[in-house]
Amino acid sequence: MPKIFGEILRRYWSMRHLIQKVLRSRLVQCLVIFVLLLRGLESHAEDVGSSHVGDRQLPHCLTKDYQVVWRDEFVGDMLNTDNWTMPSIKVREAASLNSDGTIVVEGGLLHLKTLWRNEKVHASYIQTRGRHEWKHGYFECRLKFQKLQGHHGAFWVQTPSFRSFTDQPEKSGTEMDIIEWFGSGRRHGWAGMNIYYWGTTDKGVPGSVRSPSIPDFPKMGGPQDGSPDSPMKDLSEDFHIYGLLWTEKECAFFCDGVEIMRDVKAISQIPQYIVLSLLCSHWERPRLDVAKLPDEMQIDYVRVYQKP
């Protein structure tokens, strides 16, 4: 063994000038830098860009026969208009809609922003309507919500025919609020997982009716008593994964793989589209401190899974 080390040392010494020259070459330096950058990007994708983690395994709530049928990972620097459209209306409730600078794709994230400009609130709303609709499946989004109260971010699934039939959600479709968030410091009642349909209200007239299922928000963390006066876990502090498993018989809502709510009453049986929004309603506008704007929600990815 000592003879082998001695031979290696002898050969290195005899070739040391050539080895040093090669190591000093610009090509080798560039290759070394490239390899280091590549390894860094791979590590970053594993640690913080979990938009790629799901490529290797299905969400825990799905059986093996589910597969990704549509996705947007928000790469590049522009919104993919093959995936998304914007509503034609320019004002919704207390805010102008989709003004310049409210929808930004940057750093592998979609940034939906609320701005204060020209003495007006400017909000943001995108949808897959007119591009993609699905009947049943698993809808998942990894996102980080806005901080301020006075506007609300949401990931939801909407129907193009909400008012077409009364008390027949299977035909008219439903509004499925996979998650909505009304800002830091709110109590348990101020995050939302809901299903709405067009039905007969308590007044005996047609209107938007909420299905009675109640989300078990303490499962998402924070105070465990779930009383109305308990503060909600702050969903604006970090990214979370929100999901909806929509089948012919039921809808199950998830946060970070934990089931939070299940509904069996109002189940749509028609194709529907995805909405991502950060909106400002009239009733909440007084809470919005415009001096602290801009505020934003950040979306890492959106995916849809279905069975073949």
Q: Which two tokens stand for residue 62?
A: 């799905």
Q: How confident is the model at residue 40 (pLDDT cuts 50, 70, 90)?
A: very low
What are the tokens at 75?
């790469």
β-sheet bridge partners, residue 196: 175, 210
State the Cα–Cα distance between residues 66 and 128, nearest whole angstrom. Answer: 21
Spatial neighbors of 251 by CB under 8 A, at least 6 apart, are 176, 195, 244, 245, 262, 263, 264, 267
Which pTM was predicted?
0.81
pLDDT at 188: 61
Q: What pLDDT was estimated at residue 74? A: 99
Q: Which domains, and CATH codes, for the chain?
A: 2-43 (no CATH), 56-306 (2.60.120.200)
Taking alpha carbons only, the member of 76, 90, 115, 104 closest to residue 276 is: 104
- Please give the average per-residue pLDDT across 207-223, as a whole number: 87
Distance CA 273, CA 131 (A): 9
Instruction: Assess contact for 268 and 169: CB atoms under 8 A.
Output: yes
What was the pLDDT predicted at 4?
53
Cβ-Cβ contacts under 8 Å for 12 (sequence gap 6 or more): 19
* pLDDT at 222 exceeding the cut of 90: no
DSSP 272: B
Between the two ends of the chain, the Cα-to-Cα distance in Å is 61
What number is the average pLDDT over the span 32-36? 46
| Residue 57 CB contacts under 8 Å (≥ 6 apart), including other chains | none
Task: Decide if pLDDT at 34 tops 70.
Answer: no
Cβ neighbours for 97, distance < 8 A, ≥ 6 positions apart = 86, 87, 89, 90, 91, 122, 123, 124, 125
Look at strands 120-127 and 95-97 and give their pairing: parallel
